[in-house]
Amino acid sequence: MIRYGSGNLAVNLLTQAFATFATFYYIDHLGVDPALIGLAMVVHGALNAVLNPLVGHLSDRTRSRWGRRVPYITVGMAPLAATFALIWVPLVDGSTARFWYFLVVVLVYDVLHVVVVLNYVALFPEMFVTIAERAKAASWRQLFGIIGMIVGVAAAPMLYPAIGWPAMGAAFAVVALVFFALSLTGSKERVQDAREHFGFMKAVRYTLTNRAFLAYVAGGFLLQVTFALLQAGIPFFTKYALGQPDSANTLILGAVFVTAIPLVYVWSRVTTRVGPRRAVLAAIVVYGLGLAPFLMVGSLPLAVATGVAVGAGIAGMMVLLEILLAEVIDDDERRTGLRREGMYMGMNGFIVRWSASLQAVLLAVVLSASGYRAGAAQQPESVVTGVRLLLGGVPLVVLALAFLCFVIYPIRLTGRADPAVQGEDGRQHVGAAVVAHVADGDRGAGGQGSA
């Protein structure tokens, strides 16, 4: 469980370092036209979104002596690490040439990243079959994920001034490769039979007509919007609401993530005790209560304390979202007779990816309405109200909608063992539990079910 979970450090290290610093490096340090880099990132986002369901479907249909997921991770992890390192080593000169270099390398990185990461996360529902196992495994995964996130965002500004961008990229690539390899030593697949799978469009249709998945993905999308608003809004909050330097961003966000590290285990225990659906509703409430003080806090110590409260709720969401998706996949197996982790992970990735776009729209609308003027030395007082709403007002509305999504989420599992659905090994197999506890009438497109 720990070895498998360690792979999430590699995932978040690469993802966060790329998202935070790649455009900054090419625009500010290499002098590439910002419009060209913006175009490259749009192409990158579109390709990444489309690749997710395609790669997921391909993985679901794969049959080999080594399994469906592990071969992709094994073959892809070294090229992924190498391509990530190449992002930080511009092999050409000139703004236009570096744009094309960036575009080509990033597109190759996209393909490899989706292939490796999607198959890595698709192992989770298959490897861990009880609520208790999933809660514990998710807490370990998120612990490593938070460490990877902190290293990817916080270590880079300390490394690239000292050793240079290429060496930093190479160091991160080596660390990621080591942790991907370590995760493989703990990755096990259940034996799959050779039943025929759906075609791509039929697989998409069955996925998007599953009531449980629709409720889950809508709620997860909204929660991701609030996470993105938090990260994007903190710099504006520290500058305009607190009057603090940029270093305050690190203190507030650091409080969020450092708090989340031990609390992922607390939420793991809560999930085992009350079940995933009740636990995620509680986590949303805790998260909302943590965000509300941003409407009024006026000092850095109080803002850091608010970050601690926010971290308590975010820890719950980090643990629970993947457990809930695993439930949905179990329910789909009951309906279709097939294990389709890849397609569900892919469609979830495709939909949730657009949360960053909605966050950008909300940010622009609120700042514009508050009178914010980009580049102005002085901002009107109304901007303070606007940035407070970005962190403590708008997210509460979004969280209320997410709460409603999980209220109507139809799978009703509890954390208590049910002898009627225990396997011969004494473990409460969640797939069987879904049969016993899923809301009546939720048949979706695959309503015929399977024995």
The CATH number linked to 163 is: 1.20.1250
Spatial distance between the Cα atoms of 166 and 437, rounded to a whole number of angstroms = 53
Across 132-136, average pLDDT? 92
Q: Do 174 and 261 reside in the same domain of the chain?
A: no
| Residue 191 lies inside a defined structural domain of this protein | no
The tens digit of pLDDT for each residue in 284-339 reads: 999 999 999 999 998 999 999 999 999 999 999 999 999 999 999 999 888 888 88
Q: Do 336 and 417 reside in the same domain of the chain?
A: yes
Residue 375's pLDDT band, with cuts at 50, 70 and 90, is low
| Residue 451 lies inside a defined structural domain of this protein | no
Q: Do 233 and 170 reside in the same domain of the chain?
A: no
Q: Do 378 and 278 reside in the same domain of the chain?
A: yes
Helix (H) or strand (E) holding 363: helix 355-369
Spatial distance between the Cα atoms of 157 and 210, rounded to a whole number of angstroms = 44
| Residue 135 lies inside a defined structural domain of this protein | no
- Spell out the alpha helix ranges (H) of 237-354: 247-274, 276-291, 300-336, 341-352
- Note whether 428 and 417 are within 8 A (CB): yes
Question: For residues 169 and 355, which has the higher predicted lDDT (pLDDT)?
Answer: 169
- With CA atoms as reference, report the closest residue to 415 among 211, 134, 126: 134
Adjacent-strand bridge partners of 411: 438
Question: For residues 258 and 377, which has the higher predicted lDDT (pLDDT)?
Answer: 258
- With CA atoms as reference, report the closest residue to 276 among 131, 404, 177, 416: 131
Q: Across all residues in the chain, what is the average pLDDT?
A: 85
CA 117, 121, 122 angle in degrees (round to 5)? 110
DSSP secondary structure string for all residues of 186-253: T--------PPPPPHHHHHHHHHT-HHHHHHHHHHHHHHHHHHHHHHHHHHIIIIIS---THHHHHHH
| Residue 194 lies inside a defined structural domain of this protein | no
Structure token pair of residue 346: 């892919």
| Residue 89 lies inside a defined structural domain of this protein | yes
pLDDT value for 426: 43
pLDDT value for 195: 57
Q: Do 339 and 256 reside in the same domain of the chain?
A: yes
| Residue 134 lies inside a defined structural domain of this protein | no
| Residue 60 lies inside a defined structural domain of this protein | yes
Split into its structural domains, the chain has a count of 2
Q: What is the pTM of this model?
A: 0.82
Q: Do 240 and 371 reside in the same domain of the chain?
A: yes
Type of residue at 31: G
Q: Do 271 and 404 reside in the same domain of the chain?
A: yes
At residue 183, what are phi and psi to the nearest 5 degrees?
A: -65, -30
- With CA atoms as reference, report the closest residue to 237 among 89, 346, 45, 387: 387
The tens digit of pLDDT for each residue in 175-212 reads: 999 999 999 999 988 755 545 567 888 888 889 999 99
Residue 263 has pLDDT above 80, yes or no: yes
Across 63-68, average pLDDT? 84
Residue 397 has pLDDT above 50, yes or no: yes
Q: Do 150 and 220 reside in the same domain of the chain?
A: no
- Note whether 262 and 146 are within 8 A (CB): no
Spatial distance between the Cα atoms of 173 and 289, rounded to a whole number of angstroms = 38
Range of the domain at 46: 1-129+144-184
Q: Do 79 and 213 reside in the same domain of the chain?
A: no
Residue 113 has pLDDT above 90, yes or no: yes
Spatial distance between the Cα atoms of 76 and 183, rounded to a whole number of angstroms = 14
Residue 147's pLDDT band, with cuts at 50, 70 and 90, is very high
pLDDT value for 35: 83
Rg (CA), the chain: 22
Task: Specify which of 88-92, 383-387, 394-398, 438-442 reaches the highest per-range mean pLDDT.
Answer: 394-398
Q: Is residue 30 left, alpha or beta, with left meaning phi > 0 and alpha meaning psi from -120 to 50? A: alpha
DSSP three-state, residue 343: helix
Spatial distance between the Cα atoms of 66 and 85, rounded to a whole number of angstroms = 28
Q: Which residues contact 336 (CB under 8 A, 6 or more apart)?
A: 198, 206, 446, 450
Q: Do 205 and 307 reside in the same domain of the chain?
A: yes
CATH code, domain carrying 420: 1.20.1250.20
| Residue 233 lies inside a defined structural domain of this protein | yes
Q: Do 179 and 235 reside in the same domain of the chain?
A: no
**Residue 407, CA atoms < 13 Å, CB-side half-sphere:** 8
DSSP three-state, residue 353: coil
pLDDT value for 415: 53
**Burial class (CB within 10 angstroms; exposed 0-12, middle 13-18, buried 19+) of 179:** buried
Q: Do 229 and 291 reside in the same domain of the chain?
A: yes
